[in-house]
Structure 1
């Protein structure tokens, strides 16, 4: 049997790096955390399910609070991993030391400084290059190289 290969679509995994041009603090949020709130709002309005992987519990709780307040005049349904809720929120916030079923989300927003194998579960990953800290920029370069080595289609957005 001969198959027409024009119908075969290969879904290439993609990673987008947001490169920040400042580290301004707004409403107690870093520039990256503010951008995360805006991106979550955008993706959620496009009916995407999102997993936010935070660096630690403190950052997770900070983003949890921020998503209730920012962007203003919006409601973004979300929860922290492990919260007992009667529905499945489209946005879930996790941090290391928590197991989770990752099959429900479309997009991973990665706030971890080191590469995590978690990215291999997702078809779309959002990552960040911070403005100032040299060591964090170097870690972002290493993550970029790792994504490339895994076959991700890479792009960069300057903020």
Structure 2
């Protein structure tokens, strides 16, 4: 069964240069890698991919997660790959972490997808559109509401 988990972000902040969604994407990618899965993080653009790449390098050295940008690294890529629409490898992956605002045709190759619903009306509508498409393709859909933190 193909599964999609949507994380509903009720508070959208920027901390250490990353949005709540970007930070969560990095953390979830690390968790999935620790479970033995290969992960693709589909970024909106190369600037976002480079920003996430840099953020993953400066994490606690004891918590290093092997990753690379699309087109870099070993033959079959690191366990976590960051791509963007103009640059994506065809290396098989177990999990897609989708940061793209619209549905991408390659998502059907995945059995496990993580997607996000930020707290913005425009982004919520785009997430609803992706949700409908996933449902039409027969994905099992789950929503996790992340509680607000801080003020």
What is the TM-score of this pair, normalised by structure 2?
0.91
Residue 84 (structure 2) pairs with residue 95 (structure 1): yes
Where do residues 25-104 of structure 1 align in structure 2 (5 Å cutoff)? 25-70=14-59, 73-85=62-74, 88-102=77-91, 104=92
Is the 1:14–1:152 Cα contact (8 Å) retained in structure 2?
Answer: yes
Match of 2:116 among 108, 128, 134: 128
Which structure's residues are more often strand, by fraction? Answer: 2
Structure 2: unaligned runs, 5 residues or longer: 147-151
Report the Cα distance in structure 1 between the residues aligned to 2:130 and 2:60, rounded to whole angstroms: 29
Structure 1: unaligned runs, 5 residues or longer: 1-11
- CA displacement 1:29-73 (0-9 Å, x = unmatched): 000011011101111110110001000000000010111123674
What is the TM-score of this pair, normalised by structure 1?
0.87
Q: Give me the CA root mean square deviation.
A: 1.5
Aligned residues: 146
Distance 1:88 1:21, change over 3 A: same
Secondary structure at 2:103's aligned position in 1? coil
Structure (1 or 2) with the larger CA radius of gyration: 1
How far off is 1:88 after superposition? Answer: 3.2
Displaced runs of 4 or more, over 6 A: none
Is the 2:29–2:39 Cα contact (8 Å) retained in structure 1?
Answer: yes
